[in-house]
Structure 1
Amino acid sequence: MKRWTLYTAASILVGLFGTGSYLYYKYEPNHYFKRLEVPVLSTPSVAIQPSPLPMSPGTQDTNIQVTPDATPKETSTQDKDIKAFNVLILGLDARKEESSRSDVIMVMHVIPSAHKVNLISIPRDTRVNIEGVGYTKINHAHILGELKGGNEEGTKEAIQAVSNFLQVPMNYYVKTNFAGFENIIDAVGGVDVELEHNITLPDIDTTLSQGKQHINGKIALSLARERYSMPNGDFDRQAEQSQILKNVALKLLQPEHIGEIAALLPKVKKDIQDTNFQDNDLISLAWLFKGMTEDDFTYRQIPGASGYELDPLMQMRLYYWLPDMTAVKELRENFLEEKSS
């Protein structure tokens, strides 16, 4: 009996070890994304970028064209030894029977080998060149595509606009609307945020106090949309959006058990309007995020200045965020491109 018990226990341990080794080999991020044929959804196709300097009020829009000094390397995204990839995150402001502008635009540069993530927030009013249109706001790209060919074309236009602007390829995308954003946060039991000052949210008649707060989806959505009660307006709002996204990721993608994440995926995915991530990709990302801390995330905003320019769509002068393309180039090299080893 003792011998039988010993053999049984040994068999169970071997089985558990084999299963664990299989899951590790299959989903461990550095192994998984090296084996995966990471998609390349877009590569920069426009060698024209906005003027890096704002114009004085009253001057004519000269649409200065700047040619990049080098074409970005694409081979790294198609290399079997890939170390990093880019994810475009789009939050749409669509309501029923309305076309959709992208109100939240972020690029997540994921480095599986280092367990690091760089988050780059692009102001929705950033002035970029869109093929066939000219210089307009980057959040117009989605609606322009949607008007031409529906949701899928809207996604393609937004991805290409961001790729052209940052001069990097895009590998994945996640797109959700405001309702989905709220539901995802509720699905994970809310999210923690830390506020540097009191923030009034007039649309839900609530004031959040300075310090750490645990908030539900409704409050998180209102916080992500609020800018008027923040000292730096849209830039504080971008920072809050980044904080919410990062903290949701840390909570959602820290599985103690793979089965729990697998069970949660359908709840989260039903509120994601569109994505090219597969379930296995998300499970591997969950493994990547397990154990990550605040220090493993780096957040940056697009540098530039405020200004007013003639918009070709509205045929009037509109407010723009005019990017400093020299600084954007440095940001790309430091946070969006693979470093040579």
Structure 2
Amino acid sequence: MGKKKDLQPSRSSFRRSRKRHRVWRYILLTLAILLVTGTALGFYELHRLKPANHFNHLKTVGSGDTSKIKNYKEKAGTFNVLLIGSDSRKGSKASHTDSMVLIHADLNNHTYNMLSIPRDTRVYMDGYGHTKLTSVQYIAQVNHGTKKGIETAVSAVSNLTGVPIHYYAETNYWGLQYMVDALDGIEMNVPFKVTLTHPWYAKNAGKTFAPGVQKLNGEMVTELCHERYSLPGTDYGRQQLQQAALIGIAKKIMQPSNVTRLPALMQSLSKFLIATNMSTEDMVSVGLGVKDNFQPEKQIKYRQVKGRGATMRDDLLKANNSQIILDENELKTTIKKYFSN
């Protein structure tokens, strides 16, 4: 454990930095952005950018401990990316992580396994000790800058899961709304009844959505994916809504009639994506991998690891608070089966 820092954020400053609403898990948008960009550029058939050639011997981000998985094998044509949803606002120098989704993309077999990690998950942060995942990026950015904050968060997730992470991409609330509206809405298969109990826009309080396929604009998609308290399993119900929204976005993007929209979406990339270490070539290679055989309802799979709530010591805040402890055996089994080969 590293030496404790003298500069510690006060509990009150943490409360002030969190606005009235918790920004929902915007991860699904970030994957959609990568698909948009990659698909738009992927029409240029460059041999060296074919996934099996391009995604090979990749560098990892951060300093995560991958020793938890015995005989971890990285295969050509595969990569791991951490999608970050934050409460970042224009002009802010630091943001809290509201959600993270780890994706193992296998472009050889066209499978995309996704694991959503709750924002209150107990993780280890170098130099401080154990704290909530949501706090890691914030304090690292306050002390070391934006990029270091993201890399520190990536390291925390890599340490937790034992998975080497090659890429990251961060977005926020408004990015999802821009994306869906740029596509002129999407069809979303809502898996269960949803009542908005803490909407981003007060005017939407109490609105109810029945199960089934519905045509929704950006505002309604973000409201659905922001909901928590009326859902079965709260955070786990949220994950099901995220999956439904992601599939709706992906299906709309891949419609032939939307090819003409791709250049405009690419030009507006800064509206959707806050930060990423994926290059244009990386996105082209993703596009080449998905464009000929992309069936989101069959290929995108959400994996869940249950956790228990507990009051634990937060070394960063120097106080006890409510945290989520993921089931260690279930986590190891899930990672080994879906994220390590």
Same fold at TM > 0.5? yes
Tell me by how many angstroms 1:253 deviates: 5.3
Tell me by how many angstroms 1:169 deviates: 1.0
Is the Cα–Cα contact under 8 Å of residues 41 and 170 in structure 1 kept in the other structure?
yes
Is the Cα–Cα contact under 8 Å of residues 185 and 217 in structure 2 kept in the other structure?
yes
Gaps of 5+ in 2: 1-42
Is the Cα–Cα contact under 8 Å of residues 193 and 215 in structure 1 kept in the other structure?
yes
- Equivalent residue for 2:177? 182
The CA deviation string for residues 32-77 of structure 1, in whole angstroms up to 9 with x for no partner, is 535x664422352487xxxxxxxxxxxxxxxxxxxx4x5664x73x
Distance 1:172 1:261 in 2: 23
* AA aligned opposite 2:142: L
2:304 to 290, 301, 308: 301
- Equivalent residue for 1:16? none
Tell me by how many angstroms 1:286 deviates: 2.9
Give the secondary structure class of the aligned counterpart of 1:139. Answer: helix
Distance 2:132 2:66 in 1: 16
Tell me by how many angstroms 1:239 deviates: 2.2
- Equivalent residue for 1:3? none
Is the Cα–Cα contact under 8 Å of residues 186 and 216 in structure 1 kept in the other structure?
yes
Distance 2:77 2:181 in 1: 33
Is the Cα–Cα contact under 8 Å of residues 255 and 261 in structure 1 kept in the other structure?
no
2:64 to 31, 35, 44: 44
* Pairs within 5 Å for 1:1-341: 23-26=44-47, 29-34=50-55, 38-45=58-65, 68=68, 73=72, 76=74, 82-95=76-89, 97=92, 99-202=94-197, 203=199, 204-205=204-205, 206-252=207-253, 261-290=262-291, 291-338=294-341
* AA aligned opposite 1:319: S
Distance 1:303 1:249 in 2: 27
Distance 2:50 2:271 in 1: 24
Distance 2:238 2:181 in 1: 20
TM-score (norm 1): 0.76
Give the secondary structure class of the aligned counterpart of 1:230. Answer: coil
- In structure 2, relative to structure 1, the CA distance for the partners of 1:87 and 1:253 (3 Å cut) is farther
Distance 2:286 2:248 in 1: 15
The CA deviation string for residues 173-199 of structure 1, in whole angstroms up to 9 with x for no partner, is 110111122212222222322223221
- In structure 2, relative to structure 1, the CA distance for the partners of 1:255 and 1:199 (3 Å cut) is same
TM-score (norm 2): 0.76
* AA aligned opposite 1:24: E
Distance 2:239 2:159 in 1: 21
Distance 1:301 1:232 in 2: 11
Distance 1:132 1:267 in 2: 38
Is the Cα–Cα contact under 8 Å of residues 254 and 287 in structure 1 kept in the other structure?
no
* AA aligned opposite 1:167: G
Tell me by how many angstroms 1:142 deviates: 0.8
| Greater mean alpha carbon deviation, residues 154-163 or residues 267-276 | 267-276
- In structure 2, relative to structure 1, the CA distance for the partners of 1:179 and 1:107 (3 Å cut) is same
The CA deviation string for residues 222-260 of structure 1, in whole angstroms up to 9 with x for no partner, is 112110111221211122123323432343356678775
Distance 1:276 1:254 in 2: 28
Gaps of 5+ in 1: 1-21, 48-67
Tell me by how many angstroms 1:92 deviates: 0.5
Tell me by how many angstroms 1:263 deviates: 4.3
Distance 1:295 1:146 in 2: 38
Distance 1:131 1:237 in 2: 30
Is the Cα–Cα contact under 8 Å of residues 265 and 279 in structure 1 kept in the other structure?
no
Distance 1:252 1:276 in 2: 23
Is the Cα–Cα contact under 8 Å of residues 44 and 164 in structure 1 kept in the other structure?
yes
Distance 1:298 1:319 in 2: 29
Q: Rg: which structure is higher?
A: 1
Q: RCO higher in 1 or 2 (8 Å CA, sep ≥ 6)?
A: 2
Is the Cα–Cα contact under 8 Å of residues 223 and 240 in structure 1 kept in the other structure?
yes
